[in-house]
Amino acid sequence: MRRQVLLFISIVCLRSVFGQVSYSIPEEMTKGSLVGNIVQDLGLDLKRLKLGNAHVYSGDSREYIELNSERGVLLIKERIDREALCGDTTPCAVHFQIVLENPMEFYSVTVEITDINDNAPTFEKNEIRFIISESAVVGAKFDLERAVDSDVGTDSLQSYILKPTDNFLLKLHSQADGTKNVEMILQKPLDREKNEFISLVLTAVDGGGPQMSGTMQILITVLDANDNAPVFTQPIYKATVAENSPKGTVVTTVSASDADHGSNGRITYSIRNTLDDVRHLFAVNEHTGEVRLIGNIDYEKSQNYQINLRASDEGGLTDTCKVIVDIIDVNDNNPLIDVMSKTNVISEDIKSHTVVTIINIQDIDDGENGKVKCTINENIPFLLKSTESNFYSLVTDSELDRERASDYNITVTCSDEGVPSLSSSVTLTLQISDVNDNAPVFERSSYEAYILENNTPGLSIFTVKARDADWNQNARVSYILEDSSVNGVPVSSYVSVSADSGVIHAVRSFDYEQIKDFHFRVRAQDGGSPPLSSNVTVKILIQDQNDNPPQVLYPVQTGGSLVAEMVPRSADVGYLVTKVVAVDVDSGQNAWLSYKLQKATDRALFEVGLQNGEIRTIRQVTDKDAVKQRLTVIVEDNGQPSRSATVIVNVAVADSFPEVLSEFTDFTHDKEYNDNLTFYLVLALAVVSFLFITCLVVIISVKIYRWRQSRILYHSNLPVIPYYPPRYSDTLGTGTLQHVYNYEVCRTTDSRKSDCKFGRAGSQNVLIMDPSSTGTMQRIQNEKSILDEPDSPLEVRKMLHHTCFAIPLLQHLNKLIW
């Protein structure tokens, strides 16, 4: 089959591209036959057809043509019968649109269906009968039933052939609607006596190739003479009737007269040479000529009808007339709304004035009844624009934001201008697809969290929370700990952040005394592409726990030395003995210290300041008060539970150093002050034994040496000059020994770290004595002059005078030897 591109392609731009193309194909093409190459003829890209979800839109009519998007061609979807599709209407065409989306475009396509000679002319009846008087004059006309050919153009009915033509010939009359009426005209008088019955054959022939035809038999009975034929009062009658008029409505009345009398003047009316649809809609009363409705007339199907009527007398003579019925349109059809787009999802980042969908409006009424205007609901970011006849474009009026509205219900209402007006409406639901245009937002601009020190690693500290206004994957938030350092150490060694929940965990156990607070940044990142993120500062504050006891700074507690605060017996009430100084490395109330006197030799003599730790006398010192006073002071913090430390303060109530010395030497036997006394005694015994053996060996050696020298001197008569070491002084002495020895005080290696210090310390004297030292009364008297100086404390550090223990033993050994 040959196809032709008849018209042209036109492009119209209304925020989308419109084009028009026409094709011409013959009817009865097989399914799958090629109609046209839409890609080539419209200048489209084959890829655009696929991505744009191209499809055929035909409104409410059947789809005879389909689009093959893979090849970009139009194909026959269903066999097309031009006669069934269009009837006698010419030209016959199928109209549809090719719709593309993203962006919305549509193209109008017209396919003209050309006729092929597939229908032969047919008569309504196989035979027709006439009764004609033999007196019928030459030229008498006899109207014949015309044939019907569904084809059009040259394939339609073209001519009639009558055989035989002895008495009659044919005459054709072309009508305004293109049809042809046929009349049989008497050309030779009839003679009943020769031929009472005449049989003729009427053949209808079309113009197709090959030529097709149909026949009808004409049977004529010849009667005696009837001189006058019926005559209509007018050849054409005109009438109007509103569509949807009820059955039985009188359209018009025709009238004819016959000059004959009797049966030859009796007239009957009938419909002739009329299409079937007219016979189904109209009927004529054969006696009165009244034309009535017998069916439902619809202006949208046909705007006018032509009825051919015949008046016949009983003598066989006839006359004809026409009745033209015009149908008045009534606004009985609501506008039809058809949305051409198949998609109901648009992206929120679509630009303003973009075509979302195209709407086709049809109202098959006529005139004002068929004029339609459409509107949409207000307060939505969309506009409805009229693009061309019967088409509206729904376009965006402003930018969309899915976070404000995720969908829109758009009601399109179309009303015609009839009276009363008819309207239709349809609701479009548009879903707004999400675009990752919102970064996660934290619930706070910054966070502060508290955690107690000495926590367990892995403890949950706090949760940061961010929300993303987007949807689905674009709103899925992950939490990331940004790289930073705290005191030169990566922050990841302090805390960790759960990527899914935002829970912050402690990685280590915190110590308030080492770090009190630190901060870091957490980034919230969504799952979009590309991802969007925001960050927030989190400050962690370490809360102190009471995990450190108070530390006493003064008085200093030494291992073996004895520290004593001197109080003169003349001290008044409130005399400041000393002050206990302590600190607590904790903070807050955990570092608030209070001082209490736990034990005392005489609790009625001293008191301790609760807040300042000052030890003062609470009464006048008397001579009855013991010289040595021992106070135990407890220092407590204010934590829960509280922690404490104790310190022992030794107080010497005396006016002179000898009195103090004599009293405090007994302190060396106190196990509480000399926990290592056993160790020192064992050590001293070992040293003394070593020195004793050494001295014994030395003395024996010296005796032997002298004995040998005396022997030599005795034999040599040399004077004896005794020799003494430089440290010895040769003085006269008394006692059992012949010489007075000067002994040197020896100290241990640790004793060189202790010095005798003389200085002022307010109005109190401090005396620290080495409990292992010994001395003579003469030495005490020599030091008394120093102690008698006012406000002069004497501090004697701990010494182990091993020699002082060894000297009495050596003296006794010397006596035995000599």
Kindly compute the dihedral angle of the four CA atoms of residues 206, 208, 210, 212, in this order, to the nearest 10 degrees: -20
Distance between CA 164 and CA 128 in Å, rounded?
16
Mean pLDDT per 10-residue run, the chain (818 residues)?
Answer: 36 49 92 91 86 81 83 90 83 88 85 88 90 85 86 84 90 77 89 86 89 92 78 94 94 91 85 79 94 93 91 86 94 91 85 90 90 92 88 92 92 93 93 93 94 93 94 94 93 95 95 93 95 96 90 80 80 92 89 92 91 92 87 92 91 81 57 59 88 92 84 48 37 35 38 40 40 39 40 33 37 41
Task: Specify the CATH class of 4-114 in words.
Answer: mainly beta
Closest CA to 386 of 363, 355, 341: 355
Q: Which helix (H) or strand (E) holds 47?
A: helix 46-51
Buried residues in 585-595 as b, exposed as e (16+ CB within 10 A): ebeeebbebbb
**Which CATH number is 551-655 given?**
2.60.40.60
Task: Write down the CATH number for the domain with range 119-225.
Answer: 2.60.40.60
Q: SS3 for 106?
A: strand
The confidence score (pLDDT) of residue 719 equals 39
| Tokens read off for 748 | 């241990």
CA of 237: how far to CAs of 47, 48, 248, 254, 466, in Å? 62, 59, 19, 8, 86
> Which structure tokens are listed for 777?
């009364």
379 phi and psi, to 5 degrees?
A: 60, 35
For the beta carbon of residue 270, count every other beta carbon within 10 angstroms.
12
Element (H or E) spanning 542, and its range? strand 533-543
Confidence (pLDDT) at 6: 35
Cα 582 to Cα 645: distance, rounded to the nearest angstrom: 9
642 vs 223: CA distance, rounded Å: 148
- The domain ranges of the chain are 4-114, 119-225, 227-329, 336-433, 441-543, 551-655, 677-817
How many CB atoms neighbour CB 735 within 10 A? 9
Per-residue HEC secondary structure of 308-333 comes to EEEEEECCCCEEEEEEEEEEECCCCC
For the domain spanning 336-433, the CATH number is 2.60.40.60
Tokens 């903070």 correspond to 587
Q: Which fold has domain 227-329?
A: Immunoglobulin-like (2.60.40)
C-alpha–C-alpha distance, residues 583 and 594, integer Å = 11
Span 441-543: which CATH code?
Answer: 2.60.40.60
Contact 23, 2 (CB under 8 A): no
User: How many CA atoms lie less than 13 Å away from 283 in the CB half-sphere?
Assistant: 11
Q: How many CA atoms lie within 13 A of 712 on its CB side?
A: 7
Closest listed residue to residue 21, CA positions, set 36, 2, 34, 1: 36
Neighbours of 221 (CB within 10 A): 13
Alpha helices, DSSP H only, in 670-755? 677-716
**What's the pLDDT at 664?**
65
CB-CB contact of 147 with 181 (8 Å): no
Largest CA distance in the chain: 228
Cis peptide before 440 (omega within 30 of 0): no
Same fold flag, 4-114 and 227-329: yes
Query: Which tokens is 295 given?
Result: 């069916």
Give me the pLDDT at residue 191, please: 83
Output the pLDDT for position 224.
64
Order of all β-strands in the sheet with 614-617: 576-579, 614-617, 606-608
- Angstrom distance (rounded) from CA 381 to CA 270: 65
pTM, entire model: 0.54
Helix, strand or coil for residue 688? helix
Q: What is the dihedral of CA 637, 639, 643, 645, to 10 degrees?
A: -10
What's the token pair of residue 37?
Answer: 């190459």
